[in-house]
Structure 1
Amino acid sequence: MAATAQSIIFHQYDISPFSEKVRVAFGIKSLEWYACDEPVIMPKPDLVALTGGYRKIPVMQIGADVYCDTQIILRELEKRFPSPTLFPGADKGLGWGTAMWTDRVFFQAAVAIIFGGGTPLADDAFIKDREQLTGRPFDIEGMKAASPMMAEQFRAQLGWLEEQLADGRKFLIGDEPGLADASAFYNLAFVRWTSPNGVKIIETFPGVLAWEKHVADIGHGKRQEISREEALDIAKAATSTEEAKADPGEPNGFKPGDAVTVMADDYGRDPVIGDLVSSSAQHIAIKRNDPRVGDVVVHFPRAGFLVMKS
């Protein structure tokens, strides 16, 4: 079945840890989606034609709406497909805070173990690409030196998961999986793909192992494949569904039609320039044009991103 302007097109690659977070969410919601595989390293001309410069993976596309960063991707999935929810039981929003922990502190501990322990991922091209992405040296020797200490940090954070699961619950919040599970799980998946030493640490936590299997058993929903060329053709033929809307609480007075620049606040700080369409405490959407895809609206979260007038 061919993808349409209503289809979920997921720009990813299979060993991307952040893509795994969203793939678990697809599984929780039993969604059908199209995998559009992107290169692991730059150049990514098809991706940046959609995003206006944002190069990180994953990116979700629905028609001419483009969602950058897992935070805004998952927020949009919850909005469009509210059941089953990513916030089961008593979780009405704490999962977002959990995700910020897993994306930064927990992830950095995993990265140090993986690259400090030696991995075939870290060839010269990958290292050069990640130095451009972060704006600083990708210091493999430093990670090797820090790896024993980061193993302690990784173990400590696994210990938090073990304590949460100590009452025998199936998932972190209770009987049903949600955002907290997808967010914590992808770090373990990344370690399992790349680091035998990290796996040894995971396997000292029986509660975590049982939970990890429950999450893995959810699967990834119904995956199909789509080429980058097809994805761009769909964007060009489609029209964004995002409506212009002013936010009365916007702290810096941004309003629809303003020319703004959006960029991440940690790494991959490639600026994306466009005209503001809508904003809120949790999102900003900007309209831009590219010869390959025409007019598209690119969506970003607010937490973890900077917005400036152009």
Structure 2
Amino acid sequence: MPDLILHHYASSPFSEKTRLLLGYKKLPWQSVIIPAIMPKPDLLALTGGYRRTPVLQIGADIYCDTALIADVLEHLQPEPSIYPEPEKGLSRILAQWADSTLFWAAMAHNLQPRGAAEVFANAPPEAAKAFGEDRGKMSAGNMTRLRPADAAAAYKSYLRRLSDMLDDRPFLLGEAPCIADFSAYHSLWYTQRIHAVKNILQLTPAVLDWMDRIKAIGHGSPAKITAADALAAARAAKPHTLLADSTFQDEHGIALGSAVTVRAESFGLEETAGTLVAATRTHYTLARMIGGGGEATGTVHVHFPRVGYVLRPAEG
């Protein structure tokens, strides 16, 4: 089993999703704690620009976005599967809804003024300002933000719908958790951490019971390492992807070997530049030199899911 290195921080909802997936798969992993806001020099030395949290590193392969990370973990440990048949497609669609629509409604509710005040209660005044400015730069004004009242109304509806799914089963699609459960859980987990806003969950007792079942999965037993250790592991390794599909699928008229950039469609718009070495039905892969430490040595492959990301030719 290769060493799995998760770059994350404790309060990151999407990191909680991945930590639980690692626990469910019973995969050993190594933990690198990264800053919640920029600058993130050690992480960007690996990704080349991508700064969302978390990032999974396996040697010189860097996997971005939890949708792709989940696929990697499924490849490494197929059982228990998080993509059950015959609901494999349904579980992925529900997970995508949860990671986007549900997440943004929940976070607008969570970080309304009284929620944000609690989150930053023990931090210096400039911390809240810096966090807001950082997240504003990630969206660059191109996202519609729900107002707290609108977010609460939507969030309550979504919680009721999840509760309906749990009427006669322990998990959203059956007797065992699937990718939809992990994706739906992490936004609610963040709500539950904030006393000022968590009462919204009391409206759906079945959802609270389901949350207890997901929480009980745990994170396994991660080993702590440093960012320097992670960079050294990348420099010492050669890229070797764990993504199963390899057939070139050209939707852009961009040939393999071209200089390109990849960025997220709507949140976290920083580009990663490199050489396109894979463009399949599920993912893009860019080859680039490792940065950091005043040098650029060794090659990493940075992997992105195809859905939700924009591929472009590099300018100039």
Q: TM-score, normalised by structure 1?
A: 0.91
Residues 7-16 or 24-33, more deviating = 24-33
Q: Does 1:37 align with 2:33?
A: yes
Partner of 2:132: 127
State how 1:154-193 maps to structure 2 within 5 Å: 154-167=155-168, 169-193=169-193
Contact persistence 1:25–1:178 (CA under 8 A): no
| Contact 1:35/1:226, CA 8 A, preserved across alignment | yes
Deviation at 1:78, TM superposition (A): 1.1
Structure 1 position 228 matched with structure 2 position 237 = no
Match of 2:42 in 1: 46
Aligned to 2:196: 196
Give the Cα separation in 2 of the matches to 1:51 and 1:261.
Answer: 12
In the other structure, the counterpart of 1:149 is 150
Runs of 4+ in 1 over 6 A off after TM superposition: 243-246
1:262 aligns to 2:262 (yes or no)? yes
2:105/2:154 contact within 8 Å kept = yes
Structure 2 partner of 1:250: 250
Distance 2:203 2:267 in 1: 32
| Identity in percent | 37
Out of 298, 301, 308, the position equivalent to 2:305 is 301
Task: Check if 1:10 corresponds to 2:6.
Answer: yes
Give the equivalent residue in structure 2 for 1:83: 79
* 8 A contact 2:260–2:274 mirrored in 1: yes
Check if 1:219 corresponds to 2:226. Answer: no
Secondary structure of the equivalent of 2:222? strand
Answer whether contact 1:68 1:300 (CA < 8 A) is retained.
Answer: yes
Residue type at the aligned position of 2:264: A
Distance 2:241 2:281 in 1: 16
- Cα-Cα RMSD: 2.2
Question: Matches of 1:91 and 1:137 in 2, distance apart?
Answer: 34
Q: CA-to-partner distance for each residue in 1:89-146, whole Å, 9 max, x for gaps?
A: 532232221122112111111111112142234711111111221113999xx86xx2
Specify the SS of the correspondent of 1:287: strand
- Give the aligned length: 300
| Equivalent pair of 1:239/1:296 in contact (CA under 8 Å) | yes
| Separation of aligned partners in 2, 1:14 and 1:79 | 25
- State the partner residue of 1:208: 207
1:133 aligned partner, one-letter code: M
**Residue type at the aligned position of 2:309:** F
Which segments of 5 or more consecutive residues in structure 1 lack a partner in the other structure?
none
Query: Within 2, Cα distance between the matches of 1:106 and 1:195?
Result: 20
Q: In the TM superposition, what is the alpha-carbon distance from 1:188 to its structure 2 partner?
A: 0.7
Tell me which moved more, 109-118 or 171-180: 109-118
Contact map agreement 1:246 1:255 (CA 8 A) in 2:
no
State the AA in 1 paired with 2:128.
D
Cα distance, 1:220 vs structure 2: 1.2
1:90–1:173 Cα contact (<8 Å) kept: no
Equivalents in 2 of 1:14, 1:127: separation in Å?
Answer: 18
Hey, what does 1:58 align to over in structure 2? 54
Structure 2: 5+ residue stretches without partners: 121-126
Distance 1:112 1:307 in 2: 29
Following superposition, the deviation at residue 221 of structure 1 comes to 2.1
Q: Is the 8 A contact 1:89 1:173 kept in 2?
A: no
